[in-house]
Structure formats: structure tokens, C-alpha cells
Structure 1
Amino acid sequence: MKKILYFCLIIVIAATLMACDSQPKTITFLTNRTDLKNTILKDAQEQFAKYYADKGWNVRVETVTDYENIVSTRISGNNYGDVLLIPQTVEPKDLDKYFHDFGTVEEMKAAGWTGVNTKAFNGNVYGLPVGLQSSGIMINLDVFNKAEVEPATLTTPALFLNAMLKIQSYGKKNIADWKAAFHTQTATGWGLAQWAGGITTAAGDPDYLNYILPWDNDAFWNETNNTAGNIGKMYELLYDLIVNDVVESSPTIDEWEESKIWFAQGKIAAMSVGSWAIDQFEKVAESIEVGRSDDVGYMPYPFEADDNKLYVSIASDYTIGIAKNTKAKEVAVAFAKWFVDEFNYANKTGNIPPKVGAKYPAKIEAFNDSGAILVEETPATITLEGALSLAEKNAASSITDEKRIALWDSVWILDYVATAFDVRDNKKSTTSKELLQAIQNKWNNGISAVIEQYGNKPNR
């Protein structure tokens, strides 16, 4: 009997080993970065093969244009590779349907991973950030230095505005073909929406976005104190920059590509943009004769919290996930973790690595050393999920109002900024108070919808 059991055990083990050995050793990785196909991604393929040479594992990289639409369709058709950047179209409730989890949020954080809340659901992590990004202000350090302005001292809106006035005066007097102390990127639309990335800094609280803002009657304007509200002070600064004429001359001409060159030439001193753009600005600076990548700097939005600290939110752009239908899960998981950790893809693309102790890009390291505290915005609990989007959906003066206050949407802020430019050009006399009060009134309508569905603001 023992011999029979022993023989059966050998058969089971052999079958298991054969099954494991029969699993594919080459996996397919889908990514949107067509621009990196022959550089960083090619290097990743070669290094992964060397790293796991003893196992014979390899990765085939497939770059996809129109990534969101094409890959979303492929997911529906059950043909989406082994490892991929999870499309934003995949709803949280469907993550488990299409992707394997890496473990619980607590387990991943304990292992040193950050940014894991981005693609987590019911406590499980389905996507690892390929890189984290922060929001802030790109600055030309050479121009700041020549105008005798120290970025680290600019911790309040008033100090920042005065610095821009000083730089504008210096630029007009000393720099040929001077453009602006601060370029708002108004004509792009999306450039203005970048200011929403400063909400956590302005509020000074990583809980603010999901636990306070949907119920905040003082978000844009505080009637009690007769001052700009918790995040209204951010948009008040934008208004002040415009009416004080330290910005671009025309708000209707898209100058994004040109502005990168002007910035490198020292004709623009600052602009609001995510850290994802640092790499672009450095490359432009190195491509022109008078540019220097060392002049590209980055600073937090100038909103010091009550505890005298500057809080800066970090968030993931894309996360890397493991296809639920992969036949090579072991290889896929190994590649995903290796790509983000050992290969340090984030550092190579100018982003913040999502692993504690990983090397930061130089500009982000300096940003971190400046005293800014990088924090993750606290995700909403399952019971509060959707409260913010409901507030945004209903933050309008009427059902036909197309300028509802959706934070990352450019429509409402374009309207706000257009008025500020008209004030600058002496076409209107509308104050920032009047504008922010009108925005707060719309936001209050959103709050009413939130209270009706979710109840009053939760206790924290």
C-alpha cells in the first residue's frame, strides 16, 4: 500500500513539474509608451532576460497607440497580453474580473510599496504604479537667481506674487524678447486644469479631497471670514498673477511647445505643471545652444499649512497589472515587480519611484529636500466612493449649465481666467471675490446632492 501511495505521489509531483515547465517562458507586455520602444523599453527587455537567464524568461514589449481605446477593446475580447498598464476605463469593481491581485494594501505597504491605493479595491491591490507624479511649479533657477529670488522662501501666495512681480520687472529690463514671469498655458485648456493638482497643498490635508471637499461650504469662498476658501486661495493667486500682468500677453494662442524653448532660453520663469514634464523640459534645454538642464527646477505650490509645512500630493499615472487569463502568472508577476523595482522605470522616465528607498530623479530629490512633504491623498472608503464626482456633477447653476465645477475639467476655469484677463485688459472690473462666490454657490449645489445621497460630512 505504501509503495502504491509513494508511486502516486511521484506521479503527482512529476505532473506538477511538467505543468509548470509547460507554462510559457515569454510574456507580452502592453504599454502606451511608443516613444520609448527603441530605448528604455528595449533596454528593459534585454535586462529582464539577463536577470532571469537561469529560468529562460523573456518579455515581448508591444507598444500601443490610442492605448485607452484599443486596450479596453482587447480586454473585452479577452486578448490583452500577460502584463499591461491598466486602462483608466476599467472600473474599480471590475479589477478582480480582469486582473490578478498582488496582495492586500497592508501587505504591499509593509513591503515598502507606495501609491498602491490607485488601483486597489476591497483592500486588494491590482496595479503597481509604474511611477508617481507630483504637482507643483516648474521654475527656471537661473532666472530666479539673477532676479535674486530664493524659491525656498516662497511659501505663501503673497510671497509668490511679489516674487513674480520682481522677476517680471527684471525680465523686462534685462532679457531680450522677454515673455512672462509666469506662463498660465491658458490657451491649452489642460494647462489651467493642472492647478487642481495643488488642492492637497492648498488645503494642507491629504484627507481633504475625499473626506472634506464634497461637503465644504468654504471650499472656494469663506463668507464668515470674507476670504478665499480652502482651495479658493489657489485660484485667487491665479487671478492675481493675471491681473497684475506677469503672465503671457495672449490667452488665446497655444504656446505649449514654444514655451518649453522660451523657458530653456530664460524668457519664462515659471509655470504650473505636473512633475511628468520635468524630463521634457530638461531634454529641450539640452537640445538648444543656450539651454542647460541644470536650470530646470521644481517647487511646491506656495501654500504653507497651519503647521508651517508644505504638503504635496503624489499620484500614479498608470499602474501595471497582471492579466487574469495569463498562462504565465509567475513570469508576469516577476516582470511587473522587477520592472517597477529593480529596473526602476520611474527614475528612468523622470518620475517618483513607488518603492521606499528607491533612487529619486535629481529634480524630485531636490524638491523633496526643499522641505515639501510628499503624501498620498487618502482614498475614499467604499461607502463614500463617488461622493466627490457626485458633487462635481451637480456643481452647476442649472441643469443646462455647461460650466459645472469639475476640478480637472478646463471649461469652468477657462471661464474664470477669461474674466481675469478681461480685468487685466480693462474690459471688466470683476473681483476675484465675486468670481469665487459664484463658484462656491455652484459647489453648494453639488454639496446638497452629496448630502442627499451620502448624508452629512463623515467624522474622521
Structure 2
Amino acid sequence: MRRRALTATLAALAMLAAACGGSGGGRSTAEQTGDPAEISGDITVLTQRTDLKEDGTLAKYAAEFNKTYPNVQVKFEALTDYEGEVKIRMNTENYGDVLLIPAAVAKNDYPKFFASLGSAGELSKKYKFTSASEVNGQVYGVVSFAAANGFIYNKDVWTKAGVTGWPKTPAEFLADLQAVKSKTGATPLYTNYKDGWPLTAWTNVLGSATCDPQAKNALAKGDPWAAGKDLNVGDSLLFNAVKSKLTEADPTTTNWEESKGRFAKGDIATMWLGSWAIPQMRDAAAKAGVKPEAVGFMPFPAQVDGKFCAALAPDYRYAVNTHSEHKAAARAWVDWMVGKSGFAALNEGVSPVTGDPLPAALKPYQDAGVRLLDLDQAGVAQVNDIDRAAEIGLDAPDYRKNLVDVARGAAKGDLNALLADLSKKWDSGRKTVG
């Protein structure tokens, strides 16, 4: 079972806004009174975390929540195909009281489906990462947590290869992967090609190579694959690793769940993921009889002014159904989950609550002075429109699957031609959007 906190964005669902009905009501703020005992009602919470429902974690959260809000009854619906199922349900008014905003809902359509949680000016004082959910000065979603991006690596394997420091350039990183292959026999870098969604994590290199908090917005103005740009650097690194045979021999046979155990045992040395994966790898290590401390996390191999940078990738955002009959109760759950439940720490993610400490897993980043970037998301709607028009799918696995196929010789082409084609498509998409 896949337990990733953030379901990969599916380009195929991009037309949700056009398919869904929905009407007004988004301005009706999910307000609360000062006394938790006065808030009541039965609410349904939609989630993609089937694992947390099955193992009883969500029930424990509800029990803790009820200590503060005794008159609110919480029911969970865990959906395996979250994006697909919610897409269908949003053609009606019955899509839970609290839900995670599907990736395919156009930002400008948030007021049709979700209740305002407050003004951007006020809510941004309490929560980080609000810009991606802001429409006309109102905020419609609160991030559950933000994952820092980097390479999960097996410290024991890398040490056996003679590498003890973090590589500072892509060339150094590739050389270190070669050392891992030569001296340990482990698969240096695992792509998780077959499952697909892990390949979408490579888009999260945005900001990490250039240390630019405007990296996301900049996609709407220029060529994302121009020399030195984040996607050029990240995609080139992945391509060269595959071409140099530093990844799995047959990417069509990869398996996400099995990869965690293989990583713990030292068969796999490195994977590009978010900090959310750290606890899963540590659990796998414990099951394999390996000390969890062997799980390391390193930033993308690039520095600006002598500093590493790691972009923060906000996870799903909690929202309140604008049609909910118990908006205050739904809003209470959202605020409690974000601010009181400890869910961010469980996933080794950065809390959206202003002033909260970093998770323990990011202490190495903190000690090394890695700059954590909160990418400005103000232009994300335009970027998504361009991406759809260009038919690339930045957050879908297909274009990087093609990249891997070209690199391993299973498809025609070379790196320069591949990047040039992406640039051409993006330029066409930008002109279409205007």
C-alpha cells in the first residue's frame, strides 16, 4: 500500500473545474465561537491516508479532538483513489465537510466549492503557505504540513563507498553515485519508475538549485529548461544518472513498497523524495533490524553563496465544503489538526503554524545552515494553465518516464533534444494562455 502523504498530481484530472458544478457560498466563512463546547455537529472528513484509518491513528486523533470539542462527532472516509473519487463527488454537494483540496481544482474556482477560512491578511499571521489558497484576498485552504525536499540516503552505504560529506554540485553527486556502485554493489539511485508518482517529486527541485523563492512564479515568464534553471539542472542530473547506469537495471520492475525494505538493507543507496518519507524509511529499517539512524537526508547538490537550499513542498490543504451544514465544527477540526494534533511532526514535515519548531529529521539541515525556501505560490494558477496548454504535466510522471526511457536507450533522442522539445512546448503553452 502506498502511504505517501501527498498523492501525485494527476494531469488527467485537470479539467475538474469544467466538469464540476458548484455554486456560490464560498464567501460564507467557517466561523467559530470562543467556547469549544458550543460547537456541535456530525462532520465527515475525507482523506487519502487509508493507512492511518486502518491502523487506528485517525480514530485516536478524533478521540483527542473530542477532549476539546465534545459535541462534534467525526467520521472518516479514506479513499484509495482520492483524486478520482473526489472529482466525481464534487459534481454534487456531497463531498464531505472537511476535505483535502484536489490538485485538479482550478485555484480561481475555490470559492465555488470551499468556504473562506478568513482574510489573507489575518490568516497569514497565523499560518504559513497561504498564498497558494488565496483568491481575491480570502484563503480557502490550510496546508497540513510542508515537506522539505532532498535525497533520502543510507548513511552506512555511502560511508562504505568512502563518501562522508554532502556533494555540492551535480558532477560531485554523480561521482559519489559511481563510488557507491563500484564499492558497495548497491543501486546508487532508485527512480521508482514503475509506480510513477515518485518521479513527480523531481519537479520539487524548483528553487533548490537556484535558491530562488520565486522559482515557481518564474515558470510563467521564461523557459524552465534554459541552462542553469532549476528544471534543467534537476532533469539533467536524473538523465545523466540513468545514462551512466547509476540507477536500477530495469526501471519497469521497480516497486515502491519493496524499495523501502531494500533501502533499509542497503540494496538501494539513494532516492529523491520529501522529508515525509523519512519516518517510513526508519520504520523499514527497524523491521529489517537496521538502526534507524542509518537513514540520512541530504539537500540537492547545488549551492548559492556557499549555502545549500531546499524548497518546501506544501502537502495537501485542508478545506471546508461550502455546502457543509456544520462549518464551525469542520473549521474546528481543521485548526485542531494543523495546530494541535502533531500530524506535521508525525510526517517529519514543517508545520504551517508560524513559530513552530522544525521537525527532528531536519536538524541536520538546520545544523548545516541549509536555507529552507517557502516558494511564493501567487502565480501557480497561471503556471498550471500554461502546463495544461503545453501538455507537459509538470506534476505527472509521463514526461520524466520519457526522460528515463531516452536516457536508458528505450526511446529515441538525447538530453539536448529532449530539453529543447520541453522548452518549445512550454513556449507554445505560454502563448496559448497569453
What is the deviation of 1:95? 1.8
For 1:141, which of 152, 155, 160 is the aligned residue?
A: 155
Alpha-carbon contact 1:133-1:351 (below 8 Å) kept: yes
The CA distance in 1 between the partners of 2:419 and 2:433, in whole Å, is 22
**Distance in 2 between the 1:309 and 1:22 partners?**
50
Partner residue, 2:78: 63
**How many Å apart are 1:46 and its aligned residue?**
0.8
| Residues 185 and 67 of structure 1, relative CA distance in 2, 3 Å threshold | closer
Counterpart amino acid of 1:409?
A
Pairwise mapping of residues 56-455 of structure 1 onto structure 2 (< 5 A)?
56-111=71-126, 113-151=127-165, 153-171=166-184, 178-211=185-218, 213-217=219-223, 219-222=224-227, 230-289=230-289, 291-305=290-304, 307-381=305-379, 385-387=381-383, 389-390=385-386, 393-394=389-390, 405-422=392-409, 434-451=414-431, 453-454=433-434
Would you say the 8 A contact 1:136–1:272 is kept in 2?
yes
Distance change in 2, residues 1:244/1:21 (3 Å): closer
Letter in 1 for 2:57: I
| Aligned match of 1:42 | 59
User: In structure 2, what residue type is equivalent to 1:30?
Assistant: L
Q: 1:302 to 1:26 in 2, by over 3 A?
A: same
User: Is this contact kept in 2: 1:214–1:447, CA < 8 A?
Assistant: no
Corresponding residue pairs, total: 399
How far does residue 201 in structure 1 lie from its aligned partner after superposition? 0.9
Alpha-carbon RMSD: 2.9
2:25 is matched with: none
Residues 238 and 34 of structure 1: is their aligned pair in 2 closer, same or farther, counting only changes over 3 Å?
A: closer
The 1:148–1:22 alpha-carbon spacing in structure 2 relative to 1, beyond 3 Å, is closer
Provide structure 2 residue ranges, at least 5 long, that are not aligned to the other structure: 1-32
For the 8 Å contact 1:391–1:443, the answer to whether it is kept is no
Distance 1:416 1:89 in 2: 24
Deviation at 1:453, TM superposition (A): 4.6
Q: Is the 8 A contact 1:180 1:268 kept in 2?
A: yes
| Residues 69 and 169 (structure 1), Cα distance of their counterparts in 2 relative to 1, 3 Å cut | closer
Q: Is the 8 A contact 2:239 2:415 kept in 1?
A: no
The one-letter code of the counterpart of 1:51 is: T
Given that 2:150 and 2:274 are in contact with CA atoms closer than 8 Å, whether structure 1 keeps it comes out as yes
Question: Out of 25, 48, 52, which is 1:32 matched to?
Answer: 48
Letter in 1 for 2:189: F
The Cα of 1:163 is off from its aligned counterpart by: 1.7
The structure with more radius of gyration: 1
- In 1, Cα distance between the equivalents of 2:82 and 2:397? 23
Q: Is the 8 A contact 2:220 2:382 kept in 1?
A: no
For 1:390 and 1:418, the matched residues in 2 are separated by: 25
Q: Which residue of 2 aligns with 1:5?
A: none
- In structure 1, what is the Cα distance between the partners aligned to 2:405 and 2:119? 46
TM-score normalised by structure 1 residue count: 0.77
Q: 1:40 to 1:117 in 2, by over 3 A?
A: farther
Amino acid at match of 2:50: T
- Over the matched positions of the two proteins, sequence identity in percent amounts to 30
Gaps of 5+ in 1: 1-16, 172-177, 223-227, 395-403, 455-460
Secondary structure of the equivalent of 1:45?
helix
Distance 1:105 1:184, change over 3 A: same
Q: Distance in 2 between matches of 1:147 and 1:21?
A: 59
| TM-score, reference length from structure 2 | 0.82
Which residue type is aligned with residue 235 of structure 1? D
Q: Cα offset for 1:356?
A: 2.5
Cα distance in 1 between the residues matched to 2:245 and 2:334: 48
Deviation at 1:145, TM superposition (A): 2.7
